Amino acid sequence: MIRLRNVSKYYYSKGIIASGISKVNLDLDVGEFVVITGESGSGKSTLLNVISGLDTYEEGEMYIEGHETSHYAASDFEAYRRKYISCIFQSFNLINSYTVYQNVALAMQIDGCEHSVIKSRVRELLGKVGLSEFENRKVSKLSGGQKQRVAIARALARDTKILVADEPTGNLDSESAEGIVELLTEIAADRLVVVVTHNFEQFKDRATRVIKMHDGKIVEDTYTGRHLHASAASSQEHAADDEPKRRHMSYAAQLGLGIRNTFNLPAKFLLLLLVFLFVTSSVSAQYVSVKKQRDTVSEQGTNFYFSNYDPKRIVIERSDHQPFTRADYEAIEKAPHVDKLVRNDMIYDSSVYFDSDDLPFNGYISDVKCMSRKPDLGRMPEADNEIVLEGADDGWMLGENPEAVIGKTYKMSTDGSSDAEYEVVVAGIIKDRDKSSEDSSDSEGFYATSGVGTAYLPDALISKIRTDMYAAAGTTTLVVDGNEEEVVPGEGGLVVNSNVPEGYILLPTSYDSMFDKGYAAGNLTKLSSKTLYYGESLELMIMGTYGEKTFTKKTGLKDLSEHNGEIYINETDFRRLYEKGSYQASVFVDDTRNINGMKDMLERGGFEVLVLRDHIYNFIDTALIDIIQLPMAVLVSIAVFFIAYFVIRLILKSRGVYFATVRMLGMDRPSVQRIMRIELMLESMIAYAVFLLFIYLSRIRVIHSDQLSDYIKYLSPRDYVILAGILLVMALLISGRFMRSIFKSSAMGAYREEA
């Protein structure tokens, strides 16, 4: 079975070479019960390790069933141990975090045995060694003698041709030792059993051969003349096949061990969890920092057409260029990720101001529906001319005494409706105490002008302002007897007058000369208005002309010098010309990450879309962020990776003995590596799940953290997938590196180093 020819084994330590065994010649065969004795340091254990393939040899040749092994690599010896060898170790080499059952079952799992076979066989062996009642007890809680019996049961669980045992009865009382010797004798009838012992007396009546060693050499090799007979059970077990068929360890068993190893050492589990959490949070923090800096820089620019270029704002109009309908508004407001909808977008970028010493307010127009909260002073608007002002409580914007402003009537002007003024009553005030006149943004997200507030207006007033804006922003032309001229709505131009009937127009006397008869009355004119959004024309009858003598009678006004050249129409006709619906609206998303999705949805819904975030002129080029901050973030992430790598390596040193042990039991490198990978990958994904849990708790406001809020804002689903991939790659790299250290030497060498 085994033949050694001039085999020598040397040990190297700190430049010193020591001989373990020297020029050993030995033949061993199935059916022998060989006992090796000798004093400590005589080379007994070294010879046993060489025979079992746990250690390599430097000289000579060892044959296994006639095959040379001097050329064997570590993987070849693993295959040899798996096929031929069962070991009982002097130091037990048990997995302390496993139960008695799990330790014995491990040997059979390595051989690819089915679960039902493992279950019955393990319980049978535990009965033979007297440990049935300790099946579910952790090995770490057993006595030395009990651990020895677990090690023996584990060795017997593997149905191999060779069983080697190093001091198998060293920790047992005489009665237990006798039972173990009898058990080894029984199985030696159809196997090769090699036992190293200091206590030859326990084996002298059973051994078929006694080998005595001294100073690394065999000094005696005696056959006792005793013959062994296989038991009926053992004979039946091996009758079908002298060489039991073995399968590779199943993937299910590898997965089970990987999962078990993840949780069976709480301290190790928690330490690895903390390290992976550190990696997850640190790497994501660097990524978020870069994205946040980019956003901050991108918001420091300006837009020459829109005063409010909030990055969450999307300006829309209908593709058919018709006014928005109520159904349009309702559909948009019900869409996901819509924070608010500004229906009258045309006036949203216009500012208002008050010509009053006690109210130096200036700000933007918004709808009362968009108010952030109820007024701090006063009440909500009730009448069509009542408004609410929101501004900084700095003693300037809302006046020195804001309470005195409540209920007072003011003339309000806008920068988009020419010279129009509106009498309004301040019904309420919202004080923004977190904002001073030096701030660069307000509650509505305006980014261009500092020290601005917001005037919340009712629908009727907004509609009136919008009408005046259409009049001021469009081009109005008057065609009289084929002659076209441009007129300007407002004082000195086109003016509403209640004395003019609907469908008529009143002109100055200068228009009489355009007609052959010398008077304009009774002729038709055409009044047209063209804006960015629409075109409208009216045919009006000239009711007459006015001069100095007839001005007051026809217009109801007193001083012609203040109104000279004005053209008058009825208010109804004015509204027909300028009072149109809203052609432009703004959608504000709840998060900038949803901008692109909202843009696509609106375009599919039949709207033309302008994302203001993409049309901001930046004072600082965001490419500078990529040039400066991005490399720094990458370097920090790499540093985090290496710090975590070395910490994990230190933690895994506690696992080195485990993996060296399973290797000694015959587990091949691919299986060992898969178990290691499963353990680290599962640990990393648990840490990742904890990270996601914290983000979720922050999202639902259970915990409050600015850092977690940034994660929610800046990490996209794609980023989360990439982060998970980084953790998995890291786990794979570390497991691969660790396995190289476990398999760089012989099984026994790796065990000594890790131990």
Q: What is the pLDDT of residues 139-171, one digit of tens each?
A: 999 988 889 889 989 998 988 899 999 988 887
Angle, CA 283 vertex, CA 280 and CA 285 arms, to 5°: 100
pLDDT at 7 over 50: yes
CA distance 574 to 567: 12
Instruction: Give the model's confidence band at 658: pLDDT under 50 very low, under 70 low, under 90 confident, else very high.
Output: confident
pLDDT tens-place string over residues 42-96 = 999 999 999 999 888 999 999 999 999 999 988 888 889 888 999 988 888 899 9
Q: Which amino acid is located at 181 in the chain?
A: V
Of 139-148, 160-169, 496-505, 653-662, the poorest mean pLDDT is in 653-662
Instruction: Give the model's confidence band at 620: pLDDT under 50 very low, under 70 low, under 90 confident, else very high.
Output: low
pLDDT tens-place string over residues 188-246 = 888 899 999 988 888 888 899 999 999 999 999 999 887 766 554 444 444 434 444 55
CA distance 702 to 696: 9
Residue 751: per-residue pLDDT: 73
Specify whether the CB–CB gap between 206 and 36 falls below 8 A.
no
474 contacts: CB under 8 Å, gap ≥ 6: 529, 530, 531, 532, 578
Instruction: Give the model's confidence band at 17: pLDDT under 50 very low, under 70 low, under 90 confident, else very high.
Output: confident
CB atoms within 10 A of CB 369: 12
Angle, CA 665 vertex, CA 664 and CA 667 arms, to 5°: 90
Specify whether the CB–CB gap between 139 and 99 falls below 8 A.
yes
Specify whether the CB–CB gap between 584 and 305 falls below 8 A.
no
pLDDT tens-place string over residues 226-241 = 776 655 444 444 443 4
Separation of CA 570 from chain center:
64
Specify whether the CB–CB gap between 339 and 312 falls below 8 A.
yes
Residue 713: per-residue pLDDT: 80
pLDDT at 446 over 60: no
CA distance 588 to 74: 66
What number of helices (H) and strands (E) belong to the chain? 20, 28
Specify whether the CB–CB gap between 115 and 122 falls below 8 A.
no
Residue 630: per-residue pLDDT: 63
Structure token pair of residue 531: 């804006």
pLDDT tens-place string over residues 261-293 = 999 889 999 999 999 999 999 888 888 887 777
